[in-house]
């Protein structure tokens, strides 16, 4: 049995939310089994439906058979269950700040990106403006630090970095480049990608783009 018992992740390769969990587990050196949910729009597995009856979504982490749902909550659980190395800051105040920005990222980034790449017809200027504004607010939170938590890669970096695998897609539809409009975020992305735990699990942005094209066709947006 691996460190910490039996761990199964119900996964989808392109889901940034699943990638968060994979990075967190890798950072802790915890071995786990992946079960790919291939057909998220059609036939969800029985295991997914019984372990996440409320939302019926991936990721679900099963730890010794007990399910955990919602990626940010799962990452918190991983940090609390395997404390070393710590992902969340040690100070209570800094932990609250990290949770605040995780909440901001959860509420804003994916939807704002979606408004660009899933847009029917011409992408509205407001959608582009909103997305860039959100990234600039995150640049403010990053400041001059290497990572959101300071010198070390941690919780907030794990929450945001998987969403950046969709940035190439968003750039192609939006007609802008993140490295030009938000150079600090771009530099931070490069620093994160130097970590093996990140580079190994982030999907190829071209493959994400092909996936987005397929979704658009499926939804009749093309």
Partner 1 sequence: MEDKVILLDLWSSSFAMRVKIALAEKGIEYDCKAENLFDKSPLLLEMNPTHKRVPVLIHNGKPICESLVIVEYIDEVWHDKSPLLSSDPYQRSEARFWADYVDKKIFGIGKRVWSSKGEDQEAAKKELIEYLKTMEEELGEKHFFGGDTIGFVDVALVPITSWFYTFETYGNFSIEAECPKIIAWAKRCLGKESVAKSLPHPHNIYAYALGLKKKFGSA
The verdict on 36 binding partner 1 (CB under 8 A) reads no
The verdict on 100 binding partner 1 (CB under 8 A) reads yes
How many of the chain's residues bind partner 1 (CB under 8 A)?
22
Run of H or E residues at 9? strand 7-11
Answer whether 202's CB lies under 8 Å from 161's CB.
Answer: yes
* CA 124/CA 118 separation, integer angstroms: 11
Minimum Å distance from CB 142 to partner 1? 14
Single residue of 69, 87, 105, 170 touching partner 1 by CB under 8 A: 69
- DSSP of 96-154, one letter per residue? HHHHHHHHHHHHHHHHHHHHHHT-SSSPPHHHHHHHHHHHHHHHHHHTT-SBTTBSS--
Select the span of 26-34, 65-73, 144-152, 161-169 touching partner 1 (CB under 8 A): 65-73
Minimum Å distance from CB 27 to partner 1? 16
Q: At what angle do helices 167-174 and 205-218 cross, to 10 degrees?
A: 60
* CA 126/CA 131 separation, integer angstroms: 9
The verdict on 133 binding partner 1 (CB under 8 A) reads no
* CA 7/CA 220 separation, integer angstroms: 38
The residue among 104 and 211 lying less far from partner 1, judged by its C-beta, is 104
The residue among 23 and 88 lying less far from partner 1, judged by its C-beta, is 88
Site map for partner 1, 136-155, x if CB under 8 A? -x------------------
Minimum Å distance from CB 138 to partner 1? 10
3-state helix, strand, coil in the chain (%, to 5): 55, 10, 35
Residues in touch with partner 1 (CB under 8 A)? 54, 63, 66, 68-70, 73-74, 76-77, 80-81, 92-93, 95-97, 99-100, 103-104, 137
């Amino acid at each position: 049995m691996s460190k910490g018992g039996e761990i199964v992740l119900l996964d989808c390769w392109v889901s940034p939310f699943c990638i968060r969990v994979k990075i967190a587990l890798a950072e802790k050196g915890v071995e786990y089994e992946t079960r790919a949910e291939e057909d998220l729009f059609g036939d969800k597995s029985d295991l997914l439906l019984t372990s996440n009856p409320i939302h019926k979504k991936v990721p679900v982490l099963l730890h010794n058979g007990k399910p955990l749902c919602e990626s940010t909550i799962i990452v918190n659980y991983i940090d609390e269950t395997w404390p070393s190395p710590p992902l969340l800051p040690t100070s209570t105040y800094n932990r609250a700040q990290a949770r605040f920005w995780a909440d901001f990222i959860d509420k804003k980034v994916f939807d704002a990106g979606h408004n660009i790449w899933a847009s029917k017809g011409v992408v509205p200027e407001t959608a582009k403006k909103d997305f860039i504004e959100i990234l600039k607010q995150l640049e403010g939170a990053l400041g001059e630090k290497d990572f959101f938590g300071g010198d070390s890669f941690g919780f907030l970096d794990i929450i945001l970095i998987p969403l950046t695998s969709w940035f190439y897609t968003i750039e192609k539809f939006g007609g802008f480049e993140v490295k030009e409009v938000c150079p600090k975020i771009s530099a931070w992305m490069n620093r994160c990608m130097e970590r093996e735990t990140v580079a190994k699990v982030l999907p190829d942005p071209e493959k994400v783009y092909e996936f987005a094209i397929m979704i658009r066709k499926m939804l009749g947006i093309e």
